[in-house]
Amino acid sequence: MGKIVVVTGGVVSSLGKGIAAASLGLLLKARGLRVTLQKLDPYLNVDPGTMSPFQHGEVFVTDDGAETDLDLGHYERFTGISLTRNHNVTAGQIYDTILSKERRGDYLGRTVQVIPHVTDEIKRRILGLSLTSQADVHIVEIGGTVGDIESLPFLEACRQLRLEHRRDVLFVHVTLVPFIRAAGEVKTKPTQHSVKELREIGIQPDILLCRSEQPLTGEVREKIALFCNLPTEAVIEATDVHSIYEVPQVFHHGGLDSLVVRELGLEAGEPDLRAWNDFVARVEHPEHSCVVGVVGKYTHVRDAYKSIIEAFTHAGAANRARVKLRWVESETVDARNAAHLLGDLDGVLVPGGFGERGIEGKIAAVQYARERGIPYFGLCLGMQVATIEFARHVVGWQEANSSEFEPQAPQKVIDLMNEQTDVTEKGGTMRLGSYKCQLKEGSLARRAYGKAEVQERHRHRYEFNNRYAAQLQSRGLVISGKCVGRELVEIIELPDHPWFLAVQFHPELKSRPYEPHPLFADFVRAALERRRARLGSDAYQPGAAPQEADDPEDRSAPPIRQA
């Protein structure tokens, strides 16, 4: 097996363990080491696939069709490694496996317990991936914080791994060193208590990553080191940054990768970060700017659109531009206020989603973008509502709809396939994972991709209804992408529009800093062209808000409702 680095977190959640793990993976890979990453989630759901985005944020889908935690998206984006279902383990999966074995009699009548049965299954998942991936370094992130009851079996399993493979396991603990403004100083007690709780479990962290608003002085680092039983060099600051893509630079400057390599006895050269530094420079110093409206139903929870946000960062950097995102709650949009909400945008994107809530607002947004010549990009559900809008307002089928929203619609232009209709479990009707798509010669999609066939990741249940394909095409709709080997429509577009394209898959899942997704990059190019034509300039103003910031002119913020 390779070396294992276990990343834990303490004090509070959302400290950035996923970004820390991904950043360490990038740094070690830049040193020429083979790296893999794994997320251990303590919740009892088998996977996040049926969880509300309000609860869990985005579901990240892998090539092999696994519905996983959004941190796997960070892992893939930072390291460029395509992950699988084995890279995300939940407590639900662990207990499901153990109970299935118990029912089959695999335990031969023995009492099934957390120790050793649960911890053994967790170790089996970790070591199994370590062996099959043949990685030099296997980074394991444990979800939650130290002290959570549900995290204890995972921490105990990793404690046992350290005992069994003492020279091959390293613990990195991400903790908080808050800056108290009233006192004008940082406080180390939360970190001390977090490490104390970890040590009570039997784990002595080897490295501390200390999140703080302010840089840590040498005195503060020495104090933390003394009370947490670490050398001072192992107390590494993780100060707040403008962009998550700066984090690897901060950690490298703090000596994280050098320390990990030394402590694990690895042979590795200095990291080559030239390409990464160039990407970060383009993100931090854009020459152009544009504003894209994201018309969605989970806009109050930015993590629900994490991969979309990052795909725009990559596409913006490719165009040397900053893409400002305006979040528009789809429930607030209708034909009467569409001009007020969308009129000054350079592009409109409608993302994926499930359920009827906000659908009419999305359709109204598509209609406004289509009729006003605003670049439009539809993702998954965004393709389905674009098809419905075209059927209603161009073909004239006023009651056209998806059977997901109106089972009795006279024209169900979006519908379940025949083989899906008899399946009762929600997950049983989903099309998940990577599928090949053949692109039409001369189409916008073909020009953007620059090749005839692509592979993209799916997560959806309903499909374009081929029964209406001929009539829709006769009125100008172009079907520019089809699933290879199956008569399933993957891409639609309008040739008499500046830029109108919608896809059934999720291209955002495959966008990378070095390789921005071609459709996102071309959409941003079109948005910049619209801005230049509309305002005469797309020059970036240094005082503009960063991409992830809330829009100060957000005119659509109703109370949060779940569906």
Question: Does the pLDDT of residue 89 top 70, yes or no?
Answer: yes
In the chain the domains, ranked by start, together with CATH numbers, are 3-278 (3.40.50.300), 286-415+493-535 (3.40.50.880)
Alpha helices in 176-273 (DSSP H): 189-201, 218-228, 247-254, 256-263
Given a contact cutoff of 8 angstroms between Cβ atoms, the answer to whether 325 and 312 are in contact is yes
Of 394, 263, 411, nearest to 402 by C-alpha is 411
What pLDDT shows up at residue 556?
A: 46
Residue 562: is its pLDDT beyond 80? Answer: no
Q: How far is CA 379 from CA 33, 144, 560, in A?
A: 36, 31, 23
What pLDDT is recorded for position 543?
54
- Residue 499 pLDDT more than 70? yes
Residue 517 reports pLDDT greater than 80? yes
Please return the burial class of 206, using the count of CB atoms within 10 Å of its CB with bins 0-12, 13-18 and 19+: buried
Find the helix or strand (DSSP H, E) in which 26 lies: helix 17-30
Strand-pairing partners, residue 212, are 239
Query: pLDDT tens, 266-303?
Result: 999 899 999 999 999 999 999 999 999 999 999 888 89
More reliable by pLDDT, 221 or 15: 221
Residues involved in catalysis: 380, 506, 508
- Find the helix or strand (DSSP H, E) in which 152 lies: helix 152-164
**Which has the higher per-residue pLDDT, 66 or 541?**
66
Q: Residue 271 is encoded by which pair of tokens?
A: 């990291």
Give pLDDT, residue 540.
81
Structure token pair of residue 55: 């609860």
**How far, CA to CA in Å, does 4 sit from each of 68, 116, 139, 159?**
21, 21, 6, 12
Predicted confidence at residue 557, as pLDDT, reads 41
E strand map for 115-268: 137-142, 169-176, 179-180, 185-186, 207-212, 235-239
In the prediction, which pLDDT does 429 show? 67
Q: Percentage of residues in the chain with pLDDT exceeding 90?
A: 84
Q: What is the pTM of this model?
A: 0.92
49/508: higher pLDDT: 508
Which residue type is seen at 530?
A: R
What's the half-sphere exposure (Cβ side, CA atoms, 13 Å) at 143? 18
**How much is the pLDDT for 208?**
97
The number of C-alpha atoms within 13 Å of 162 and in the hemisphere containing its C-beta is 18
Question: For residue range 417-445, what is the model confidence (pLDDT) as tens digits?
Answer: 876 555 555 445 689 999 999 999 999 99
3-state secondary structure of 215: coil
Q: What phi and psi, each to the nearest 5 degrees, are found at residue 383? A: -75, -40
